[in-house]
Amino acid sequence: MPSMYDAIIVGGGINGGSIAYSLAKRGKKVLLLEKDRLGSKSSNAAAGMLAAQAELNEDGPLFQLAKKSRAMFPLLAEEIKELSGIDIELVNKGMYKIALSEEEEHQYKQIIDIQRQTGELAEWITGEEVRRREPSLSEAITGAVYIEKDGQVSAPKLTLGFLKAAAALGVEIKEYTEVLSFHVEKGKIAGVKTNSGNFESETVIVAGGAWSQKILSEADVKLKTYPVKGECFSVLTHQPLINGTIFSHGCYLVPKKGGRLLVGATVKPNTFDQTVTVDGIGSLMEKAKKIVPSIVNAEWEKAWAGIRPQTSDSLPYLGEHPNYKGLFIATGHFRNGILLSPITGEMISNLIDGESTPIDLTAFRIDRHVRTIV
Ligand code: FAD
Ligand code: GLY
């Protein structure tokens, strides 16, 4: 008997949502299973920066993937608005990667050279010029790389936008449904077992973020992944303190709609603990005050934490399980899962349909250093 679903997606974060949306656009019958509420984990905690150039310094497979994904946002914003009514708040006012020492200045100028060689726009501007453009910035800033194309979105809205657009195209979504193990027949995936019943499909995609390894151990595969906690806070002002995103080593400030300013983020490896700590937020506040001194007068809004999915070589896993045909994996997006979400959906759909991908995915293969348990 044919399965009810062309594909089952495990995980209702931004990557599960993007894959669901991409498959639905291809006319597939898709079921998405989320163990908690949709978009309640890392994707809800993210700052939404599309920092292909600010966060990735070197040319290589991840940089190529990130640039391609960043270019997909303008069209995606329109599609999601039309299908779901959700405005993902795409802003293209550029990003300032600021230097606070001569050493950083020297390092950033080298990065400009590398990025220009790859055809990207990146410009060094002096401290005076940065403050002319962004008058709230402090005298401690010696200069900045101005990156015109690194924009930002609302990560929670993009996550929900993907999921609601996918639902509008017919994707079935079940919350509070945890996938516990897989149903495998003769080396091929046949479905999933959950806390509320079994579901059949010859294609299953695991997009469970930092929790992917837990479920994948049921499929005899051990990925080299680990969780990395990040804490953030936000404040409110009547007049925006900054217009562009300010990115520095250890602290970034992202201006959001309605006078909100998001400040992130701490980096604490090897924990699933999502507690917001005085130490974490305190250290971020100190860094933020050095960059924008007048932040001390802003109204406190809130603080939160999320768990990033990281891998041992800092590259995501995007591909098919080496032994179980039909089981696909999309995880390990670490600090760039929002940026990489559109391309992740498209690439996984390409692989499922046996098509060639616009970018060579060899570097992201599942078996690059996987230990199969059996
Ligand atoms: P998640 O959002 O964690 O979603 C995975 C989902 O799978 C969860 O909802 C989980 O409940 C579900 N799940 C897991 N196991 C199961 C199971 N067995 N059954 C059913 N459901 C399951 N990235 C950027 O690009 N730009 C940024 O500015 C940025 N800022 C960040 C700031 C912070 C503080 C943090 C923490 C992250 C940031 N990131 C940013 C990274 C980004 O948030 C992540 O890379 C991305 O959200 C990962 O998305 P995901 O869908 O893979 O995982
Ligand atoms: N990309 C920003 C972060 O992960 O904190």
96-127 pLDDT tens trace: 999 999 999 999 999 999 999 999 999 999 99
Burial of residue 350 (number of CB atoms within 10 Å: 0-12, 13-18, 19+): middle
Positive or negative CA dihedral for 83, 89, 95, 97?
negative
Domains 95-147 and 225-308 agree in fold: yes
> What kind of fold does domain 95-147 have according to CATH?
D-Amino Acid Oxidase; Chain A, domain 2 (3.30.9)
For 107, phi then psi, to 5°, come to -65, -45
Average pLDDT over residues 327-349: 98
Confidence check: pLDDT of 29 > 70: yes
By the 8 A CB rule, do 281 and 233 touch? yes
Q: Are strands 204-206 and 327-331 parallel, antiparallel or unpaired?
A: parallel
Condensed to tens digits (0 to 9), the pLDDT of residues 300-336 reads 999 999 999 999 999 999 999 989 999 999 999 999 9
Average pLDDT over residues 36-55: 98
Nearest residue by C-alpha to atom 1 in ligand 2:
335
Question: Sorting pLDDT into bands at 50, 70 and 90, what band is 85?
Answer: very high
CA 42 – ligand 2 centroid, Å: 10
CA 64 – ligand 1 centroid, Å: 21
What is the layout of strands, in order, in the sheet containing 179-185? 179-185, 188-194, 197-200
Nearest residue by C-alpha to atom 2 in ligand 2:
335
The rounded distance, in Å, linking the Cα atoms of 338 and 160 is: 12
Q: Which atom of ligand 1 is nearest to the CA of 177?
A: 20
Average pLDDT over residues 288-300: 98
Confidence check: pLDDT of 92 > 90: yes
pLDDT at 221: 85
User: Among 144, 160, 342, which residue's Cα sits nearest to residue 244?
Assistant: 144
CA 316 – ligand 2 centroid, Å: 15
- In Å, what is the CA distance from 3 to each residue of 32, 193, 309, 324, 325? 15, 14, 31, 17, 16
pTM: 0.97
Mean pLDDT of the chain: 96
Neighbours of 88 (CB within 10 A): 23
Confidence check: pLDDT of 46 > 50: yes
CA angle 272, 164, 213 (to 5 degrees): 25
pLDDT at 2: 57
DSSP for 56-117, please give it. --S-SHHHHHHHHHHTTHHHHHHHHHHHH------B-S-EEEEESSHHHHHHHHHHHHHHHH
Residues in contact with ligand 1 (CB, 6 Å cut-off):
10-16, 33-36, 40-43, 45-49, 178-179, 207-211, 215, 230, 232, 264-265, 306, 308-309, 331, 333-339
Question: Sorting pLDDT into bands at 50, 70 and 90, what band is 58?
Answer: confident
Two structure tokens written together for 259:
């006078």
Dihedral (C-alpha) 33, 317, 152, 112: value to the nearest 10 degrees?
A: 180
Confidence check: pLDDT of 374 > 50: no
For 70, phi then psi, to 5°, come to -55, -40
Residues in contact with ligand 2 (CB, 6 Å cut-off):
47, 49, 55, 230, 264-265, 308, 335
Question: Domain residue spans in the chain?
Answer: 4-62+156-224+313-372, 95-147, 225-308
Q: Which atom of ligand 2 is nearest to the CA of 55?
A: 1
Condensed to tens digits (0 to 9), the pLDDT of residues 186-245 reads 999 999 999 999 999 999 999 999 999 999 998 888 899 999 999 999 999 999 999 999
Compute CA 110 distance to the chain's CA centroid, rounded to the nearest angstrom. 26
Average pLDDT over residues 270-287: 98
Q: Which CATH architecture has domain 225-308?
A: 2-Layer Sandwich (3.30)
Ligand having the closest approach to the CA of 42: 1
Confidence check: pLDDT of 284 > 50: yes
CA angle 320, 324, 328 (to 5 degrees): 30
Q: Which CATH architecture has domain 4-62+156-224+313-372?
A: 3-Layer(bba) Sandwich (3.50)
Confidence check: pLDDT of 69 > 80: yes
